[in-house]
Structure 1
Amino acid sequence: MQTSTETQTGAYWQWREQPIYYVRSGDRHPQRPPLLLIHGFGASTDHWRKNIEGLSRDFEVWAIDLLGFGRSAKPDWQYSGDLWRDQLHEFITNVIGQPAVLAGNSLGGYSALCVAAQRPESAVGLVLLNSAGPFTEMQLTSKPDPFRQTMGTLIQSFLLQPLPSFLLFQYVRQRWVIRRTLESVYLDKSAITNQLVEDIYRPSCDSGAAKVFASVFKSPRGEKIDVLLNQLTCPLLLLWGEGDPWMNARDRGAQFRQYYPQLMEHYLQAGHCPHDEVPDQVNTLLREWVLNLGER
């Protein structure tokens, strides 16, 4: 019997004269929306392999490499949430051909939120897995430390210069550094396979990858999450890896609920990438939520 993995179809779509890689699996269902899976920083469609296999039994599943990542082109452009928002919106419009449920991890979650909030005709639902993105900073109650502020600005400015940025990129893309980073953000170390490390390492060898790395950190911070949530109208599911060392999932979940109280959420024993670390749990929760969308 043929498995879902064997029926995945990878292809390229031309967007703004740049080749964009995507994967499609599963059959279209008239009563169920398609799913669009969006990876985080430094990852690709490969990071959704376990989810595509599990979810394509019930849904038409698409996954896409954001411009600058994976097998997609890496032009010397300014990268931002607005750029990826437009890429995803036009992909849904021109390739998928109907509104989708967008599911995004980390940077992909922020990009998906931008689509759902600012291009609502493309989204029938939104699933965020340890989503990145800034909230509006509250007024500081204590006096800021001018020395620390100045040093922080100087260090950031130094790292954004071409040579230091290039050297930093060459360091962080080494396989052993990738593995060590994954070990710090995955609770289950057995999920960190050689294939996972290679999937992240391989795109870093592409021409233009170093400039993408620099551009992401140089770009101005995007629209604040609270502003986007105030624009959002579709159902929202939050799936949190509670062991994420890069964010306090409980505190961040409370911030989301403050601005979008009608959301649903679940906390899982996983790190920053719960879809890869506990894929069966994520697939089950996502499947049940999407199947019940019509009842909301």
Structure 2
Amino acid sequence: MTVAINSINSIHDVPAVEGDYWTWRGQNIYYVQAGKLQSDKPPLLLVHGFGASTDHWRKNIHQLQENFSVWAIDMLGFGRSSKPAWEYTGNLWREQLNDFITEVIKQPTVIAGNSLGGYACLCVAAEYHQNVAGVILLNSAGPFSDTVVKKPNTLKKISGWLFRQNWITYFLFQRLRNKKNIRKTLEKVYLDSSAITDQLVEDIYRPSCDEGALQVFGSVFKSPQGEKVDELLQKMQCPLLNIWGEADPWMRSKERGEKFKQYYPHLTEVYLKAGHCPHDEVPEQVNDIITQWINHR
């Protein structure tokens, strides 16, 4: 589905692309596709962060569809995809994304991920070289080995125990999914508050009402950590672009950027005046950077 760009007054007002469902391991996985396959360019798969969905990429799909075959997917447990009572880990999403590339896109793909989605993309690229033509990370999540505490102190032990308690998980989930609190959180992680629309709040709130959403939320915090970012980078073989919103209060972008360069020195990196979700906050800048990088990688 292609939306006429000239019919939109502001990129922040573009509608989401209508999607479809793919069955994976007996579960419904929602995805969208726009644009036509270019013989000289690989497809592009967009992967959202924690609590987000394909809707978070609407502004990027709107422009990128002019130059690429663009796909976006709701990871299992998020968006419009099923939310079974499974253990949610990087390995699970790695298999989901790789199978989607193999079964649906059917050719090597550039994968782009924000936050948790970035970590999932790293997991795919580290394991399935043949399916990944390049990786784009936007304020990617995931710990490095040297930031992991070998022996947690008493405070960390107590907090770990708390997060394993169902009543604590329920309380946090109900508090965080409140629309006012969703907006407050976004105001903390977006540098430009004008990008925080009622539609954005609704897009994040809506999936939290689905059956199984609470269990997914709890599982993400209770599941064991996967491979560290430096371990994944050492297995990768494809081009890497790092896009950082330098005002991200959740991540020390410059510090993390240096760590990425330490383990993957030939990457390309760009710092933007934005917060944790630069693709949504300054989409036109991000779209231009992605286009130029893919065309010249």
Please report the TM-score for the alignment, with normalisation by the length of structure 2: 0.94
- The answer on whether the counterparts of 2:17 and 2:58 sit within 8 Å (CA) in structure 1 is no
- List per-residue Cα deviations over 1:243-262 (Å, max 9, x = no partner): 00001100000000000000
Pair 1:86 & 2:95 matched: yes
- List per-residue Cα deviations over 1:183-210 (Å, max 9, x = no partner): 0000000000000000000000000000
- The answer on whether the counterparts of 2:16 and 2:55 sit within 8 Å (CA) in structure 1 is no
Pair 1:67 & 2:76 matched: yes
Pair 1:218 & 2:196 matched: no
Question: Where in structure 2 are there 5+ consecutive unaligned residues?
Answer: 6-13
Q: Sort the Cα spacing of 1:139 and 1:67 in 2 relative to 1 into closer, same or farther, 3 A.
A: closer
Q: What is the CA-CA distance between 1:151 and the residue it aligns to?
A: 2.6
After TM superposition, which residue ranges in structure 1, 4 or more long, deviate above 4 angstroms? 4-7
Pair 1:54 & 2:63 matched: yes
| Structure 2 partner of 1:114 | 123
Q: Amino acid of the residue matched to residue 102 of structure 1?
A: I
Q: Distance in 1 between matches of 2:16 and 2:193?
A: 29
Q: What is the CA-CA distance between 1:138 and the residue it aligns to?
A: 5.8
| Structure 2 partner of 1:248 | 252
Q: Amino acid of the residue matched to residue 289 of structure 2?
A: L
Matches within 5 A, 1:174-185: 174-185=178-189
Identity of aligned residues (%): 58
| Structure 2 partner of 1:130 | 139
Q: What is the CA-CA distance between 1:8 and the residue it aligns to?
A: 3.7
- List per-residue Cα deviations over 1:55-81 (Å, max 9, x = no partner): 000000000000000000000000000
| Structure 2 partner of 1:40 | 49
- The answer on whether the counterparts of 1:7 and 1:25 sit within 8 Å (CA) in structure 2 is no
Q: Sort the Cα spacing of 1:6 and 1:183 in 2 relative to 1 into closer, same or farther, 3 A.
A: closer
Q: Distance in 1 between matches of 2:30 and 2:176?
A: 24
Q: Distance in 2 between matches of 1:6 and 1:248?
A: 32
| Structure 2 partner of 1:98 | 107
Q: Distance in 1 between matches of 2:148 and 2:194?
A: 42
Matches within 5 A, 1:192-203: 192-203=196-207
Q: Sort the Cα spacing of 1:282 and 1:126 in 2 relative to 1 into closer, same or farther, 3 A.
A: same
Q: Amino acid of the residue matched to residue 125 of structure 1?
A: G
- List per-residue Cα deviations over 1:11-37 (Å, max 9, x = no partner): 000000000000000001111100000
Q: Distance in 2 between matches of 1:19 and 1:91?
A: 12
Please report the TM-score for the alignment, with normalisation by the length of structure 1: 0.94
- The answer on whether the counterparts of 1:9 and 1:25 sit within 8 Å (CA) in structure 2 is no
Residues matched between the structures, number: 288
Q: Amino acid of the residue matched to residue 68 of structure 1?
A: G
- The answer on whether the counterparts of 2:90 and 2:119 sit within 8 Å (CA) in structure 1 is yes
- List per-residue Cα deviations over 1:128-161 (Å, max 9, x = no partner): 0000001002698xxx8x8xx2132112212321
